[in-house]
Amino acid sequence: MESMLAAMNKKIVPLQEYFLQGSVLDASRDILLHRLRGICDNIGGIEKFQDHEMVYTIGTNANNVLQLRARRALDDPEAPWLLRYVGEPDFGDRSKHTLVRSSIDVGTSDNLVQFLTEMGFRLDHEFVVSGHFFRKGRMKITVSKIYRLLQPGDTDKVEALSKSYLVELGVVTVSGQDQVQEEMKNFAEHLKPLVHLEKTDLRKLQQMGT
Amino acid sequence: MQRDEKQLDNSLEATIQRVQDLKGSLSALLVKLETEYTLNWPSVLDSFALLSGQISSLNKLLKHEKTPLLRNYVLLPLLLSPDRDADLEKLTEGRVLAFNHEVVPDYLRTKPEPDVEERQQHISKQASNMTVENAQKQMNAVNRISTQLLDMITSFRDEWELAQKTSQQQTSSIADTNTLLAAVNFGKGLKSGSENVHSSQSQPSPAEHAQPGRQASSSMKAPSSIKTNIKSASSLHPYQR
């Protein structure tokens, strides 16, 4: 109730993203796409996307950094830019089937980068992500390849980061919708053993990276 | 006596029911084999599983203690007639038209057919003519061959299962998942090389020393790989905290 009031006052609904992640090797991607096409809600064939994501940060030290993600569609210049904030993922306990993080998405105009830079944000890293996405009820499934930019800002010269496709299953909804986790777990079961969608503890990965 | 008869009736009825089920699934399988052009293996397997289940339940029924031993009963044909019998035709679904001298010996026989019987006799004669040593030798040979076959099958099955397991693992790789997630979430491997080995480790930012309290409060979070880039920003932007 409190959060509802806060949401009404600030006109921002606190959204939670429930998500699971995994990957599939290049060779098995087509099998996965076939399977997804079979079990997802079809809307006139497979939908593709190709985005350029830039991650901007502001903050004075490593433990106190605000990170924002700016994204634009490379395959559709007309589409609005997307500004995205994601919070720290909550790993939860064993009874929880998915990771949860707060998430705010805003559509913006194309001078977003200028706006962020003038506010003091600095570009931390950027990448190109391209792949396919599917829908099943309120769940979103993406199968995408991550590319590294060889020249900063040049999205034409890219290099694949690994020999696998990133597979993400996510639901963005208002907080407290824990029953969606069950739905997602069941869906993830359908993709086994092709892809193992799991709760990956990102903090461990981060420690490994440093 | 009456109780025995009742039991016989009941068990016969149950047996007939089971046999009819079996017949139904057999004909369903035949229809499937003849009419479906895109017959797939799982559906044939389904049919076979059904058949084997029905056969085993029929066997169970026959071995059941309440079922009287059918071989102890004598069936005596009292009347043979060359005329067409409509009831019989209906009962056998048109396979037996009349209860006559031609078909009765075939349907009521309890021994194998004559030519089978002849071959069986021939074989047993051959067997009795053989010397004991020779027989022993042949038995050993057969035993050896079947053991070898069994071994081959078991080892092949092990290999096959192993191969299946490894081929399943090859569709995804945990290492790649971690690489991708670290890249998407923390930019690992996406920042250009020169910035990555930045001076922030050799020269800690003054802000870190100035705010021990803040640092302690957030020390739960792992140090981010992002810190490499913040250094350059910290001296420039106006919102120092």
> Mean of the pLDDT values across residues B209-213?
41
Question: In chain A, which residues have pLDDT < 70?
Answer: 1-13, 42-45, 62, 208-210
Q: Which residue intervals of A11-98 are DSSP H helices?
A: 29-39
- The reply to whether B229 falls in a domain is no
Across the interface, of A27, A57, A194, the residue whose CB is closest to B226 is A57
Q: Which of A84, A124, A144 should we substitute to test contact with B (largest number of B Cβ atoms within 10 Å)?
A: A124
Query: Number of folded domains in chain A?
Result: 1
- The reply to whether B196 falls in a domain is no
CB A112 within 8 A of CB A56: no
Q: Do A63 and B238 touch (CB under 8 A)?
A: no
- The reply to whether B192 falls in a domain is no
Q: Which residue of B has its CA nearest to A116?
A: B237
pLDDT value at B34 more than 90: no
pLDDT value at B151 more than 90: yes
Res. B144 pLDDT band, cuts 50 70 90: very high
Highest mean pLDDT among B44-48, B70-74, B141-145: B141-145
- The gap from C-alpha A109 to its chain's centroid, in whole angstroms, comes to 20
Query: Number of folded domains in chain B?
Result: 3
Across the interface, of A163, A194, A202, the residue whose CB is closest to B181 is A202
pLDDT of residue B210: 40
Angle between helices B41-63 and B2-35 (to 10 degrees): 170
Question: A10: which 2 tokens?
Answer: 């600030």
- The reply to whether B225 falls in a domain is no
pLDDT value at B221 more than 50: no
- The reply to whether B222 falls in a domain is no
pLDDT of residue A4: 60
Q: Do B170 and A28 touch (CB under 8 A)?
A: yes
pLDDT of residue A2: 60
Q: What's the domain range around B90?
A: 75-110
B129-to-A164, B20, B124, B132, B211 alpha-carbon distances in Å: 71, 45, 9, 9, 105
Which of the residue ranges A47-56, B22-31, B99-108, B150-159 would you say has the lowest mean pLDDT? B99-108
Q: How much of chain B, in percent, has pLDDT values that exceed 70? A: 77
Res. B207 pLDDT band, cuts 50 70 90: very low
Question: B175: which 2 tokens?
Answer: 């290492």
- The reply to whether B5 falls in a domain is yes
Q: Which residue of A has its CA nearest to B240?
A: A60
Q: Do A65 and B211 touch (CB under 8 A)?
A: no
Q: Do B181 and A205 touch (CB under 8 A)?
A: yes
pLDDT value at B150 more than 70: yes
- The reply to whether A154 falls in a domain is yes
Residue A10: its H or E element: helix A2-10
Query: What's at A196, amino acid-wise?
Result: H
> Which one, of A53, A182, A46, A166, lies nearest residue A105 by Cα?
A53
pLDDT of residue B234: 46
> Mean of the pLDDT values across residues B205-228?
43
Q: Do B173 and A193 touch (CB under 8 A)?
A: no
Which of 164-203 (A) contact B at CB < 8 A?
A: 164, 166, 193-196, 200, 202-203
Q: Which of A28, A67, A125, A167 should we substitute to test contact with B (largest number of B Cβ atoms within 10 Å)?
A: A125
| Separation between Cα atoms, residue A85 and residue A106, nearest integer Å | 9
- The reply to whether A166 falls in a domain is yes
Task: Find chain A residues with C-beta within 8 A of B184's C-beta.
Answer: 127, 129, 146, 166
How many Å lie between the alpha carbon of B174 and the closest alpha carbon of chain A? Answer: 8
| Separation between Cα atoms, residue B164 and residue B7, nearest integer Å | 52
Task: Find chain A residues with C-beta within 8 A of B198's C-beta.
Answer: none
pLDDT of residue A130: 92
pLDDT of residue B83: 82
pLDDT of residue A62: 66
- The reply to whether A7 falls in a domain is yes
- The reply to whether B36 falls in a domain is yes
pLDDT of residue B219: 43
pLDDT of residue B203: 39
Q: What is the CATH number of the domain that holds B3?
A: 1.20.58
Q: How many CB atoms lie within 10 A of CB B120?
A: 12
Q: Do B172 and A195 touch (CB under 8 A)?
A: yes
- The reply to whether A210 falls in a domain is no
Task: Find chain B residues with C-beta within 8 A of A58's C-beta.
Answer: 233, 237, 239
- The reply to whether A151 falls in a domain is yes
β-sheet bridge partners, residue B100: none
β-sheet bridge partners, residue A54: A70, A126
The SS3 call for residue A187 is helix
- The reply to whether B172 falls in a domain is no
Across the interface, of A21, A28, A126, the residue whose CB is closest to B190 is A126
A74-to-A77, A81, A119, A131, B53 alpha-carbon distances in Å: 6, 10, 25, 12, 59
Q: How many CB atoms lie within 10 A of CB A92?
A: 14
Res. B211 pLDDT band, cuts 50 70 90: very low
A75: CB partners within 8 A, 6+ apart: A48, A49, A50
Which of the residue ranges A130-134, A197-201, B92-96, B236-240 would you say has the lowest mean pLDDT? B236-240
Q: How many CB atoms lie within 10 A of CB B122?
A: 10
Question: A120: which 2 tokens?
Answer: 């003091």
pLDDT tens-digit readout, A70-85: 999 998 888 899 999 9
pLDDT tens-digit readout, A159-203: 888 889 999 999 988 877 778 888 898 888 888 878 888 888 777
Q: How many CB atoms lie within 10 A of CB B185?
A: 19
- The reply to whether A27 falls in a domain is yes
CB A22 within 8 A of CB A144: no
pLDDT of residue B231: 47
Highest mean pLDDT among B81-90, B185-194, B201-210: B81-90
Which of the residue ranges A4-18, B7-21, B102-116, B120-134 would you say has the lowest mean pLDDT? A4-18
| Separation between Cα atoms, residue A130 and residue A141, nearest integer Å | 13
Does residue A95 sit at the B interface (CB-CB below 8 Å)? Answer: no
pLDDT of residue B180: 86
Across the interface, of A126, A149, A206, the residue whose CB is closest to B186 is A206
CB A182 within 8 A of CB B160: no
pLDDT of residue A167: 92
Same-domain status, B62 and B82: no
pLDDT of residue B218: 42
Does residue A33 sit at the B interface (CB-CB below 8 Å)? Answer: no
Residue with the bigger pLDDT between B96 and A32: it is: A32
Q: Is the pTM of this model over 0.80?
A: no
* Bond preceding residue A193 cis, omega within 30 of 0: yes
Same-domain status, B55 and B92: no
> Which one, of A71, A68, A90, lies nearest residue A81 by Cα?
A71
Same-domain status, B88 and B149: no
Across the interface, of B208, B219, B226, the residue whose CB is closest to A124 is B226
CB B69 within 8 A of CB B4: no
Question: B73: which 2 tokens?
Answer: 């009963």
Q: What is the CATH number of the domain that holds A47?
A: 2.40.320.10
Does residue A105 sit at the B interface (CB-CB below 8 Å)? Answer: no
ipTM at complex level: 0.77
pLDDT of residue B239: 55
Does residue A55 sit at the B interface (CB-CB below 8 Å)? Answer: yes
pLDDT of residue B122: 92
pLDDT value at B137 more than 80: yes
β-sheet bridge partners, residue A22: A167
pLDDT value at B60 more than 80: yes
Task: Find chain B residues with C-beta within 8 A of A69's C-beta.
Answer: none
How many Å lie between the alpha carbon of B99 and the closest alpha carbon of chain A? Answer: 58
Task: Find chain A residues with C-beta within 8 A of B169's C-beta.
Answer: 193
Res. B121 pLDDT band, cuts 50 70 90: very high
pLDDT of residue B37: 78
Q: Which residue intervals of chain B are DSSP H helices?
A: 2-35, 41-63, 86-91, 104-108, 114-129, 132-169, 174-186, 193-196, 206-210, 212-217, 227-234
Q: Which residue of B has its CA nearest to A120?
A: B237
Q: What's the domain range around A40?
A: 2-205
